[in-house]
Every structure is written in C-alpha cells, then in structure tokens.
Chain A
Amino acid sequence: MSFFKRRLPLLIVLFTGIVMMISYYVPHKPFSQFWDGANKWYMLIAGFTMVLGVVSLVRNHYRKIRQGKQGFGYSIVMFIAMIVTAVFGVIPHSESSPIWGNRSGSVFMWIFDYINTAAAGTVYSLLAFYIASAAYRAFRVRTLDATIMLITALIVMIGRVPYGEMFSDFLTNSIGKGLVFLRLDNLTSFFLNYPVVATRRAITLGLGLATISTSLRVILGIEKTYMGGD
C-alpha cells in the first residue's frame, strides 16, 4: 500500500516532469504526442478541479449552521445565494424560457451584473478609502528610503493626471524650456520606463531562478510538501 501512497506519486511526478521537459526541446514523435496529450489532459483535470474550493467552503458553512453558531443566518443566506445562482445557471437556456442558462438576459447574468459586480467592486473600492487614510497617518519621511518612496509616489500621482500635465506645460511654456526635466509627466515616464523596469526585471530574474530550482526539486522528489502528511 505504501507504494501507492508514496512511491507512485513521486514516480508520476518524475516521469511527467522529465518527459515534459524533453518534449519542450524535442518536438518530435513520440514526445510531441506526449506533450499534446498531457496538455489536453491537464485542461480537463483543471475543469474538474475548479470547484475544489467550493467543497471546503460548503463544509465550513454547513458546520456553522448545524452547530447553530452565532451568525449562522448569514451562512443560510450564502447557501440560498449559491443554490439559486447555480440552479438558474445550470438549467439550459431555450428560446421559450430565456430566464434559464448563462446567456445575457438570463437570471444568472442578472445576478452577475447587479449582485456580483456591485459587491466585488465595492469591496475592492473600500481600499481607496483605507489607502487615503493610511497615507495620511503612516506615510512619513522618517528615513531616506521612505522619503525617496514618498517623493516618487507624489510625482507619479500628480504626473499621471491632467492637472500634472497642465502644471508641467505651465513650467515649460511660461517659465522656460530649460525646465523640461522637471516636467512631472516626463519624470513619471522616466521612473516607469527605467528604475521600475530595472527593479521588476531583477525580481523577474530572481523568480525565474526560483521557479527553475523549485521545479527541479519537485521533479527529483526533494521537495514533497505537496503530498501533505502521512
């Protein structure tokens, strides 16, 4: 039994990983067939695992309701919302009853347009308010690094909106052409096109190296945390 529990998964990882790697560099039969087949299989498995997260969510809320914990009413609301959305979406659409299915005009899309969009958009936009308040309270010129970051942020924030561009036009047109280096929009472009690129590129290179080493560790069976306990 331990062969199936521990050895077999490791062997599958080793085999799939190495053959996929070879197939990338050797696009000929039989490797090309393996490459295409494995990609198609992966897509199907991914389709089945889409609702993997739903199972644990449902289990948590079901437990809450069964134990009658405080606020279990909200869990009931969650279940009703989930079931209603799922039922209206899964029953196929037909010309005679356009409320079913997932085409535009159906109940499913109505829920998407008015409930999903409203709730998700508002939750994310809460951050605008938090950022403003945090910027006021915590964004301080305590050290040189923080000062550099703050000045960059101010330049980018003003340089990317019309007022910043108007202010820059005023600088160069009315005061002098020599101030072209102080144009906030040009400074913003400079920051984004050079220092930001450099930093992001360093991060990309680092991540790339990390990805390769992790891949190799996984394939060779050194890294096996994905297998979980026992």
Chain B
Amino acid sequence: MSPYAPWATTLGIWVAAGITLAVYSFLYKDNPFYKLAEHLYIGVSTGYLIVIAWNDAILPQFVVKLFFQSPPAYVVLIPGIMGLMMYTRFIKGVSWVSRISLAFVIGWGAGVAAPVVVQGSLIRHMGSTLTPLFKMDYFSLDGWSVFFGILALAFWGSLLYLVQSDKYADWERGRRAILITGIVLFTTLFFVSSIIFSQLGVGDVFGYLFSGDKTNVEILEKSLAAFMRTFYALVILVGVITVLFYFFYSIEHKKILKGVAKTGIIFQMLFFGAAFGYTVMGRVSLAIGRLRFLVEEWVQPSKASHWFIGLGAFVIIALILLLPERLKSSRE
C-alpha cells in the first residue's frame, strides 16, 4: 500500500511517533521537545505552501502560459505584476504600490460578495424560514378552530398588555401559571383543531387511539405529520426572530422585549450546547486518530532493533536539546 520503500516507511512512522509524543509532552508542561516539534511543523508547513504556490499556481497559470505556450498569453502579465506588487508592502517607501493591487482584490471581493450574499444568504434563508408556514396543505378553519384561535389570541393579548404595563411583575405565581397554561393550551388546541380535526372527526381520532380502529390511519398520520411540520416551522421562525432581535441594540431590551431577547438567548444556548457536544466529538476523534496511530502503526509492528535505534536517536536529540541549558546554568 505504502508508496515508499519499506525503510522509508519505518523511518516515517518513527519520526511521526516522535513528533506525536513530543507534542503530547506539552500536556505535562512546556519543554524543548515540544518547541522542536512546533518549529519543525511551522517550517514544514511553510515549505509546503511555497511548493504548492509554485507547482500548482504560478508554474501552470503563469510561467507555462507565458513562456512555454505558443502563442504566449501576454495578458497574464498584468495580474502577474499585480500579484508581485503585493510584496512591495515589505519595502519601506514604496509600500503604497501594494495598495493598487489590493484595491483591485478588495473591490472585486466587495462587488461579487454583495449580490451573491443577497441571493444565497438573505433570500434563500428568509424564504426557507417562511415558506413552510404557507405550505400548510392540511390547514383549514372550522368552528372549533376559530373558537380556540380567538381564545388563544385573547390570552396572548392579555400577556402582552400585562407585561407592557408592568402589571405582570406584581402577579403571584398561581395567576402567572394560569395565564401561561392558557396560552400554551389554546395555541396548541388551535393548531390541533385546524390541522388534525379539520380532516377527521373527534370520534375517529379517539377510535384510533383507544380502540385500535385503523380505518383512518393514513389521513391521521398525514395530518399529524403536517401538525409537526407546522410546529417545527414555528420553532425555527421564533428562533430566527428572537435571536436576530437579541443582536438588535437600537431598542432598549425592557418589558416584553426583554422576554423576546431572553428567548433568543435560550435558542443560542441550545446552539452552543450542541456545538460544544460536536466540538468534543471532533477533537476526541483526532486524539483517537493519533493514539491509534501510536498503538497500531508504531508500538505493535516495531521490532527490537527499531526500538534500539529509536532510543539512541532520542538520547542524542535530548542531549542536543538539554545540554546547552544545563551547561549555561552550571556556569552561572
């Protein structure tokens, strides 16, 4: 499998294992081995970048087109010179020259980003927040749903009024609980009756639930799914509005608006919690990858002679790294 000669593979595994252990030694405390590995990493990455820039960008896109192609594409000279002009920023006195190519880059970025973002971020995301709410194929109003709707509106209205006029704070717990229960109950009933019971009679639903009557299963399941879709769409709508409002500082967050912002915080906490869980997952996966490498590719297949040479190399590196400081401190 390995594209390298066997000895090169073994050497590579030992070098990689050494670097891995050197970096992990930082968990104990900062030390010369870690610093060595760190600088090696920086150097190698920088070298890598140089190679990629030359082989994959400058050589095929510029040098070949200009010198090894007939007829030569002289037009690449302009962006090529503009690219080189960027480097004048390191030379005192002419650093302003880099601004000219920077201006093109920045103007390009601003000019392209604005329309693309309008289409891809704003319109797309606003659309997908709102469209599910208008696609309620099972939604229809009947007597009961109008009744529950009015009741729900009344409860919502009284909550708004109470909070806005600062009366809500004086209410004791019991009355608050009644108000909140009313809001939740009648809002749910409104959606249940307008989505599920508008398709089926109450008797059908209870028949399914309690006596195993399967005649209307299909309609019931579909309307239940429609109900959940509406619920989820509302969750997203409420979340988007409250979180956006939380970041909107032009109005003071007080009275009812404080509650809105607070809901926004709760949504954000759910996001951060999930993100934390996933971050743990990701970082742990990397640690698993490294430790598996140490166990499966390094410790298990290595022979005694490898260990002997490896130990020798470690002693030499340790002497080089640690001796100068020891000598210095003993001289002092």
Contacts and interface: CB of A to CB of B under 8 A. Distances in A.
Interface residues of B, number: 113
A200 to B, nearest CB: 7
B289 A125 contact: yes
A117 interface: yes
Contacts of B232: 193-194
A89 B55 contact: yes
Contacts of B78: 41
A7 to B, nearest CB: 11
A150 B273 contact: yes
B100 A8 contact: yes
Contacts of B274: 152-153, 156, 188, 191-192, 195-196
Which are the 5 A-B pairs with shortest beta-carbon distances? A198-B239, A48-B83, A85-B47, A152-B273, A81-B43
A47 to B, nearest CB: 3
A42 interface: yes
A85 B101 CA distance: 30
A50 interface: yes
B99 A110 contact: no
A205 B244 contact: yes
A204 B122 CA distance: 8
Given A115-B19, A214-B110, 13 more contacts: A15-B107, A51-B49, A73-B324, A115-B16, A115-B44, A117-B16, A122-B19, A128-B286, A152-B269, A199-B268, A201-B125, A201-B236, A226-B102
A47 B235 contact: no
7 contacts: A20-B108, A45-B101, A52-B87, A112-B48, A115-B44, A160-B281, A218-B110
B219 interface: no
A13 B113 CA distance: 14
A21 B115 contact: yes
Nearest to A108: B51
Among A116, A198, A204, chain B packs the most CB atoms within 10 A around the CB of A198
Interface string A191-226: 111111111111111111101101110110000001
B325 to A, nearest CB: 10
Interface string B228-240: 0000100111111
Interface of A: 4-5, 8-10, 12-21, 24-25, 38, 40-59, 71, 73-75, 77-86, 89-90, 102, 104-105, 108-129, 131-132, 135, 145-146, 148-157, 160, 188, 191-209, 211-212, 214-216, 218-219, 226-228, 230
A86 B241 CA distance: 52
Interface string B54-80: 110110011000000000000010111
Given A44-B62, A78-B43, A102-B51, A126 B273 contact: no
Contacts of B46: 54, 57-58, 78, 82, 85
B294 to A, nearest CB: 10
A124 to B, nearest CB: 5
B222 interface: no
Contacts of B51: 85-86, 89-90, 102, 108
